[in-house]
Structure 1
Amino acid sequence: MSDEEPSDTQLTPAEEYAAAVLGLVRRIPPARAMTYGLIAEIVADDLGRGGPRQVGNVMAASGDRYQHLVPEDAVVVGPAQDNFAVPWWRVVNAAGSPPARHLTAALDALRAEGCPLTRDGRRVDLKHAIWFPDEPDAAG
Structure 2
Amino acid sequence: MTAGDAGAAEPGGAGVSEPGGAGVSEPDDAGVSAAAGDPSDFVSQVIAVVESIPAGRVMTYGSVAAALGSRASRGVGQVMAYAGSELPWWRVIRASGHAPRDHEQRALEMYRVEGTPLRWSRAGAFRVDLERASWSP
TM-score normalised to structure 2 length: 0.66
SS in structure 2 of the partner of residue 118 of structure 1: strand
Match of 2:76 in 1: 55
Higher alpha-carbon Rg = 2
SS in structure 2 of the partner of residue 123 of structure 1: strand
Q: Distance in 2 between matches of 1:58 and 1:50?
A: 14
Task: Check conservation: 2:62, 2:71, Cα contact below 8 A.
Answer: no
Match of 2:6 in 1: none
Q: Distance in 2 between matches of 1:52 and 1:107?
A: 22
Name which of 28, 38, 49 aligns with 1:24: 49
Shift in Å at residue 50 of structure 1?
Answer: 4.9
Q: Percent identity?
A: 41
Task: Check conservation: 2:57, 2:116, Cα contact below 8 A.
Answer: yes
Q: Which runs of 4+ in 1 moved over 2 A?
A: none
- Kindly report which structure 2 residues correspond to 1:41-120, keeping only aligned pairs within 5 A, or say none: 41-44=66-69, 49-63=70-84, 85-120=86-121
SS in structure 1 of the partner of residue 128 of structure 2: coil
Task: Check conservation: 2:67, 2:136, Cα contact below 8 A.
Answer: no
Residue 15 (structure 1) aligned with residue 15 (structure 2): no
Which 5+ residue runs of structure 2 have no aligned equivalent?
A: 1-36
Counting matched residue pairs gives: 98
TM-score normalised to structure 1 length: 0.65
SS in structure 1 of the partner of residue 126 of structure 2: coil
Amino acid at match of 1:54: G
